[in-house]
Amino acid sequence: LYRRHHHHRKKHHQHTTACEPDRIHLTQASDVQAGDPLLGVLDMILSFTLPRNCDPDVTMVRVVYETGDNFPQISQDYEITSFDYDASLAVPGMNDYQSDWIYHFRLSDVKAGLQEYNYQIMVQNGIEEGENEEEDIVAATVERRQLRGKNLGEAGKDPAIPTLSSPKYSFRTPPLSSEPTTLALVGDLGQTENSTKTMHQIYQRTLSGEVPVSVVVIAGDLSYADGDPLRWESWLELMEPLLRSTPLFSIPGNHEIECDNTTSEVFGIYEAYFRNPNRLVDAERRPIPPAYRKILWSCLTSSEFLGHYNYGNAFWSVQHGMVQIIGLNSYTSTLPGSPQYTWLDETLQKVDRSVTPWVLVTFHCPLHTTFQGHNGELNPLVMLHTFEPLFVQYQVNMVISGHDHAYMRTHPMKGKKVDPQGVVYWTLGAGGNREQHNKGYLHPQAEEWVAKRTLSDYGFGQLHVANATHAHFEWIRDGTTKEGIHDSLWLDNS
């Protein structure tokens, strides 16, 4: 099965490179199945790009994946998309950018439980779909052959068209709901030297530790491309060593708005490159109305922006080990009766705390801030009145945001007051982006509801869920400075 989404508007960019997969990244596509006959099984999605000259009509692409102790599986369930983009707001003269082909492959019937899978991406260019025997590709993989230019045909048959295979990569599957779970949590990452240090720290923790990091959650503002599509390409290439082996969950920040200068469409690049978990339907997106665009200081990255972007990658929910992770969109309606509010209420009602005893919610704009820069913005003020009552009602354990380029942890909060029955909020927007830290604090002394805060370092949060009742959070600094704070605490869910 495959779906092809492609929107032509302007001339093609001409690429002459070979059909080599690039910008590879993974996500968890579904929850782990809880009942027979698929107990402990889930789907993953593997995304990557192929150059523009690799026309999907004459290019056969397959992903072969296996655990090493079973026969390789072949994925043929994929969709192809691409996008045209007028980037002239950010890059004068670039009004005809056309992306490479973006593939999203579903890897079905993957076994959960931190199982290690190997995979390769196979590309045959210059043929019609279905022209070659899949058995030949499997046999070649079993024999661990590099397929560049080799004959995959059998005696008496014409040689197969040369197949280009990616190197063999690997990933670990999500833990089962009964197993300890470790998450990496970060916001506002970008692509600076500090971003690279943060990425490296996370990568090291996917390889080591009693319970390695099994997913990266980014609370918006991923690439800081800011309307330059070439910077999306470079960010995905920078992040590939991490994201081709560890699933990514993300939500949109204001730096993902990126309006097209001709069509005024928003969030289009973010929507094309990623596939977040348990995708309900394709995204609902509307262009910015002309009158509204005139009053925005920027339709690329405006931090006070309200658009129409629902479903798709905008908001989602997934079970990952012992944690129900819910991603929300700060830049679409959050009012009662809106699609997102209705979906969130229904989603929180359905969470089975006997399966996922911990609930983590992430969105970009923090509901509480101690920093100068984004205080008083409308979006979080509305969310505080509409969403926080749901968080309290359904006993959400923690909320993760970015936006402020700093680190902060609150005491349990309800409204603007400390409340033992409230929710703990983290701001983790110090991933390393090029805008650096916020300018300062709102008050010299921290507010009574602030447990920890710092503007002096970059880093990320690591959450280790040990069991149904106890989890450990640690703020992991990248060591840029000797200043800053160390923050570490145990959370009680009993």
pLDDT per residue rounded down to tens, the chain (494 residues): 445 554 444 444 444 468 999 999 999 999 998 765 567 999 999 999 999 999 999 999 999 999 977 789 999 899 999 999 999 999 999 999 999 999 999 999 999 999 999 999 999 987 554 444 444 433 333 332 232 223 222 333 334 455 688 899 999 999 999 999 999 999 999 999 999 999 999 999 999 878 999 999 999 999 999 999 999 999 999 999 999 999 999 999 999 999 999 999 999 999 999 999 999 999 999 999 999 999 998 999 999 999 999 999 999 999 999 999 999 999 999 999 999 999 999 999 999 999 999 999 999 999 999 999 888 889 999 999 999 999 999 999 999 999 999 999 999 999 889 999 999 999 999 999 888 888 899 899 999 999 999 998 899 999 999 999 999 999 999 876 666 568 999 999 99
Per the CB < 8 A criterion, the answer to whether 43 and 253 are in contact is: no
Long-range contacts of 6-9 (CB under 8 A, 24+ apart): 6/80, 6/81, 6/82, 7/82, 7/83, 7/84, 8/84, 9/84, 9/262, 9/263
- For the chain, give the number of residues: 494
C-alpha count within 13 angstroms, C-beta hemisphere, residue 412: 13
CA-closest candidate to residue 401, choices 203, 253, 242: 253
pLDDT of residue 436: 85
Per the CB < 8 A criterion, the answer to whether 449 and 410 are in contact is: yes
Neighbours of 71 (CB within 10 A): 9
Does a cis peptide bond (omega within 30 degrees of 0) precede residue 162?
no
Two structure tokens written together for 89: 């707001």
Two structure tokens written together for 45: 């999605």
- For residue 95, count CB atoms less than 10 angstroms from its CB and return exposed for 0-12, middle for 13-18, buried for 19 or more: middle
Q: For residues 317 and 343, what is the distance between their CA atoms, to the nearest angstrom?
A: 10
pLDDT of residue 456: 84
3-state secondary structure of 375: coil
Helix axes 193-207, 229-243, angle to 10 degrees: 30
Q: For residues 443 and 242, what is the distance between their CA atoms, to the nearest angstrom?
A: 38
Q: What is the number of H-type helices and E-type strands within the chain?
A: 8, 29
Residue environment code for 359-379, b if the CB has 16+ CB neighbours within 10 A, otherwise e? bbbbbbbbbbbbbebbeebeb
Two structure tokens written together for 469: 């009742």
Q: Dihedral sign, CA of 426, 347, 376, 332?
A: positive
Q: For residues 157 and 154, what is the distance between their CA atoms, to the nearest angstrom?
A: 6
Q: For residues 449 and 12, what is the distance between their CA atoms, to the nearest angstrom?
A: 54
Two structure tokens written together for 283: 């995204």
Q: Across the chain, which distance is largest between two alpha carbons, in Å?
A: 82
Q: For residues 103 and 116, what is the distance between their CA atoms, to the nearest angstrom?
A: 23
The 8-class DSSP code of residue 56 comes to G
- For residue 129, count CB atoms less than 10 angstroms from its CB and return exposed for 0-12, middle for 13-18, buried for 19 or more: middle
Provide the whole-model pTM: 0.90
End-to-end CA distance of the chain: 45
